[in-house]
Amino acid sequence: MSSSDGTGATSDAARRQRRRSNTLLLILAVGFFIFGAAAGALYYVLGPVTLRIAVGPPGSDDHKVIQAAAEAFASESRTLRLSLITTDGAVEALGLLGAGKAHLAVGRGDLEMPADAQTVAIVRKNFVVLWSPSGLAGKNSKRKPAAKIKEIADLAGHRVGVIGRTPANAALLRVILSACGVEADKVAITQFGTDQIEQLARDPTLDAFIAVGPLDSKITSDAIAATARARGDPKFLAIDASEAIALKHPRYESEEIPPSVFNTNPAWPDDKVETVSVSHLIMAQKTLSETTVAAFFRQLLAVRQVIVRRVPGVAHITKPDTDKDAELPVHRGAAAVIDGTERTFLDRYGDYFWFALLLLSGVGSVAAWLRHYLNRDERDENTGHRNRIQAMVSGVRTAESNQQLLAMQREVDAIISETLECYDDGAIEEEELAAFGLVLDLFNHAVVERRATLQAGPPEPVRGAAAGRGLT
């Protein structure tokens, strides 16, 4: 019996050791998993974000600006990167934005925009410059020749050369003609590429010219100078209906061309000229994160001087108008930076902290349940030990010698040792230990009473049994 008890105790101890090791390994695995998840989440939050921006065509001013911005972001920003998607033009770039294949896109403000597109920044503002040649003076003529076309109303029945092959420039010219009372069908339009300035200047069929670009654009200045050499001094045509155009078409703005902006001697123009402008914009998806757009806009403003130095005369990055009645709404991320309402770190991530606390609480509950589940065998053994001691109480009351009591006490001591180990390991709770203590007290009282009885003397024999022995 002692051998079997010893073997059983050894087996139980080995089994508990294996369970303890498995529990420790499981806790370590869960800990590593939580650590890995937290590290991954931290890397995702703090790691650089790459934004895909569509722009085109290759070699255009917009493409040069965004390429310079991408290089500046790569060297200046630790949180944002720009990945260029080169397209055939602004229409294709906006199409990629609408299809969700790009986070950002660069397009002209008078183009058709995707339904969920919102403004982030103004890349530059393009001014409409309309002029007609005055003609070259004869060798013996002392009088300065006068331009045949002195105002936009005189363009009817004439041909206008448009610099830039984008359909948007021709469409804008038609809007201007209609607003100024000229039937657009009566004005012939010929478009030239930006690399065909000399060809445009020498074309005798052209009676006027139009360029759409920044006031310090080299293309516009070169075109005016080329036409002046070939056809005489320019006569700049004012768009008197600029305010009406801006009211009817909110994506255009009424502007003025300051004097001497294209040349100082002679002054081109010699006085301010009323015109209209249209902006080239960086657009974003409405669903793009407010935090991401705010970081992009803030970084773009931080590096705009670097961009201007890399592409002079092209980049004029400014803040958009945050007026709620604007034709193209401003993205909430850029508006928050402009209006100073950007949320703080706690405002943005406070909910995540609360969620993390709830998650940790849930993980703790799951871990407690898992620990309780893994220790179910130890609890069953503890229940079995308790029942065993309770059953031994009856044996104590009928024990015939102190040796039997001592043997049962040794067995109970072994059970107590195992129970305390289970309690130390967390396999059983205090309530279960208290119930075990009640049974143990009952056993101890039974031992004390039985030992006192044995020490008092042998029990009185039963009379019937004594008479039977006497008769025998």
The residue with greater pLDDT, 125 or 5, is 125
Does the structure show a pLDDT above 50 at 2? no
Residue range 19-50, pLDDT digits in tens: 666 666 776 777 777 777 766 665 565 568 89
pLDDT in tens, 343-370: 765 666 667 767 777 877 877 777 667 6
Q: What is the pLDDT of residue 300?
A: 94
pLDDT at site 66: 95
- The helix (H) or strand (E) run that includes residue 465 is helix 463-471
Q: Which two tokens stand for residue 415?
A: 């059970």
Rounded to an integer, the average pLDDT of 260-269 is 93
- Write out the DSSP string of 202-237: H-TT--EEEEEE-TT-HHHHHHHHHHHHHH-SEEEP
Q: Determine contact, residues 274/238, Cβ cutoff 8 Å.
A: yes
- What is the spatial distance between Cα 250 and Cα 243, in angstroms, rounded to a whole number? 10
Question: 452 pLDDT band (50/70/90 cuts)?
Answer: confident
Q: Please report which confidence band the pLDDT of residue 470 belongs to, taking 50, 70 and 90 as the band edges.
A: very low
Task: Tell me the pLDDT tens digit for each residue of 75-87.
Answer: 987 789 999 999 9
* pLDDT of 197: 95
Q: What is the mean pLDDT of residues 152-179?
A: 95
443-450 long-range Cβ contacts below 8 angstroms, 24+ apart:
443/389, 443/390, 443/392, 443/393, 443/396, 443/412, 446/393, 446/396, 446/397, 447/396, 447/405, 447/408, 447/409, 449/397, 450/396, 450/397, 450/399, 450/405
Between helix 402-424 and helix 376-397 the angle, nearest 10°, is 160
Residue type, 460: E
pLDDT in the model for residue 326 = 77
pLDDT of res. 227: 95
Q: Which of 213, 265, 257 is nearest to 236 (CA)?
A: 257
Query: Using omega within 30 degrees of 0 as the cis cutoff, is the peptide bond preceding 58 cis?
Result: no
Q: What does the pLDDT read at residue 41? A: 65
SS3 category, 306: helix
Rounded to an integer, the average pLDDT of 158-179 is 95
The stretch 237-247 carries a mean pLDDT of 95
176 pLDDT tier (thresholds 50, 70, 90): very high
pTM: 0.67
Highest mean pLDDT among 17-26, 36-45, 146-155, 262-271: 262-271
Query: What is the average per-residue pLDDT within 220-247?
Result: 95
Task: Quote the pLDDT of residue 435.
Answer: 77
Asked if pLDDT for residue 188 goes beyond 70, the answer is yes
447: tokens are 């031992």
Q: 93-108 burial, b for 16+ CB within 10 Å, e for fewer?
A: bbbbbbeeebbbbbbb
pLDDT at 221: 94
pLDDT tens digits for 398-445? Answer: 888 888 888 888 888 888 877 777 777 666 667 777 877 888 888 888
Q: What percent of the chain has pLDDT over 70?
A: 80
pLDDT attached to residue 136: 77
pLDDT band at 378 (very low <50, low <70, confident <90, very high): low
Residue in the block written with tokens 């310090």: 216
Q: Which amino acid is at 175?
A: V
pLDDT at 467: 42
Residue 18 has pLDDT above 80, yes or no: no
Q: Give residue 423's pLDDT.
A: 72
Q: pLDDT category, 99, cuts 50, 70, 90?
A: very high
Q: Would you state the structure tokens that stand for residue 22, as one six-digit string? A: 């498995």
Work out the average pLDDT over 67-74.
Answer: 94
Across 380-389, average pLDDT: 76
As a whole number, the mean pLDDT across the chain is 84
Which token pair is 377? Answer: 């065998």
Domains of the chain (ranges, CATH numbers): 2-36+355-456 (no CATH), 119-343 (3.40.190.10)
Average pLDDT over residues 244-265: 94
Q: Residue 51 and residue 102: Cα distance in Å, rounded? A: 8
Q: Which helix (H) or strand (E) holds 378?
A: helix 376-397
pLDDT 10s digits, 438-451: 888 888 888 888 88
